[in-house]
């Protein structure tokens, strides 16, 4: 059966978070289908950090598991999915997904909206993406304040986004803020697609440097980011990376033991 059959792509359970076992082509096809159908969905682009946050926060885990698609932002999730039999799984990295979908959008006339980033980042991102994909329609940008918005302010930004009539709202906030924002605005934002891409705004606009490709391929992007922003990220990575590896290894051992037990019972 195709992984794209049904409403949602095939998923695998990664420590309680159901992550889509997909390729980049699958992800693009899903977004285009939602746009064609006028569906309202959101996408979580998550890595080990997102999975570990979900283990600490049941509501955040529920937000991920209700998403239309949860892509593997990091190589460790891809390896885990393949080890549990989801062999189709590939990395669908936030900046790459945004770049690829931008090229498709320019060809097909899908309108973009950029929500998030520091002051001025949205406009830099717009300039960069229009250079990448001439003819791209960017319906608007908005940099939200760091504080929580009042209900009146929130209604105002919802009206502002809806008036721009985008097909895709790219959300560039940090995890778990962007996931909570998308879930709480599902049904209020009229765009068919919302995608939470975190630091992709900074990477694609040139505000921050991306890890070299070889570090991305070898699951070392966390180390590059830690060295780039040690004061901001050391607490995240000093706990997340070892914690995820230990829990993932334990889960794989448990699954292997269960499979052996089932084979013994079947052989009787």
Q: What is the pLDDT along the chain (268 residues), one digit of tens a residue?
A: 334 444 678 999 999 999 999 999 999 999 999 999 999 999 999 999 899 999 999 999 999 999 999 999 988 999 999 999 999 999 999 999 999 999 999 999 999 999 998 889 999 999 999 999 999 999 999 999 888 899 999 999 999 999 999 999 999 998 899 999 999 999 999 999 999 998 899 999 988 777 777 777 766 676 666 677 777 766 666 777 788 889 989 999 988 888 777 777 776 6
- Rounded to two decimals, what is the model's pTM? 0.88
Give CA–CA dist 195/68, Å, rounded. 10
Name the CA dihedral angle for 15, 24, 97, 186, rounded to a multiple of 10 degrees: -60
Give CA–CA dist 216/18, Å, rounded. 23
CB 117 within 8 A of CB 143: yes
Give CA–CA dist 234/223, Å, rounded. 10
Name the CA dihedral angle for 75, 81, 85, 91, rounded to a multiple of 10 degrees: -50
Q: Cis before residue 176, ω within 30 degrees of 0?
A: yes
Q: Where are the alpha helices (DSSP H) in the chain?
A: 24-37, 48-56, 58-66, 75-83, 94-108, 121-132, 151-164, 177-185, 200-205, 213-217, 221-228, 230-267
Of 248, 262, 267, 261, nearest to 84 (Cα)?
248
Give CA–CA dist 257/208, Å, rounded. 44
Give the number of other CB atoms < 10 A from CB of residue 150: 9
Of 8, 82, 75, 72, nearest to 46 (Cα)?
72
Pairing of the two strands 193-196 and 41-46: parallel
């Amino acid at each position: 059966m195709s992984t794209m059959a049904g409403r949602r792509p095939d998923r695998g359970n990664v420590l309680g978070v159901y992550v889509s076992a997909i390729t980049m082509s699958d992800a693009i096809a899903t977004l285009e289908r939602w746009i064609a159908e006028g569906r309202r969905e959101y996408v979580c682009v998550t890595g080990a950090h997102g999975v570990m946050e979900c283990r600490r926060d049941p509501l955040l885990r529920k937000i991920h598991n209700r998403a239309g698609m949860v892509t593997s932002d990091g190589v460790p999730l891809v390896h885990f999915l393949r080890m549990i039999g989801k062999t189709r799984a590939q990395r669908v990295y936030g900046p790459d997904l945004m770049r690829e979908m931008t090229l498709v959008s320019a060809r097909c006339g899908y309108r973009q909206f950029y929500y998030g980033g520091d002051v001025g980042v949205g406009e830099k991102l717009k300039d960069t993406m229009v250079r990448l994909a001439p003819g791209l329609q960017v319906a608007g940008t908005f940099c939200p304040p760091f504080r929580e918005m009042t209900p009146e302010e929130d209604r105002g930004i919802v009206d502002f986004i809806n008036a721009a009539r985008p097909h895709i709202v790219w959300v560039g906030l940090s995890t778990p803020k962007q996931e909570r924002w998308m879930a709480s605005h599902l049904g209020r934002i009229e765009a068919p697609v919302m995608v939470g891409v975190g630091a992709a705004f900074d990477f694609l606009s040139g505000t921050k440097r991306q890890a070299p490709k070889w570090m991305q391929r070898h699951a070392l992007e966390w180390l590059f980011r830690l060295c780039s922003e040690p004061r901001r990220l050391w607490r995240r990575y000093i706990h997340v990376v070892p914690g995820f590896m230990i829990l993932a290894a334990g889960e794989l051992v448990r699954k292997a033991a269960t499979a052996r037990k089932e084979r013994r019972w079947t052989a009787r």
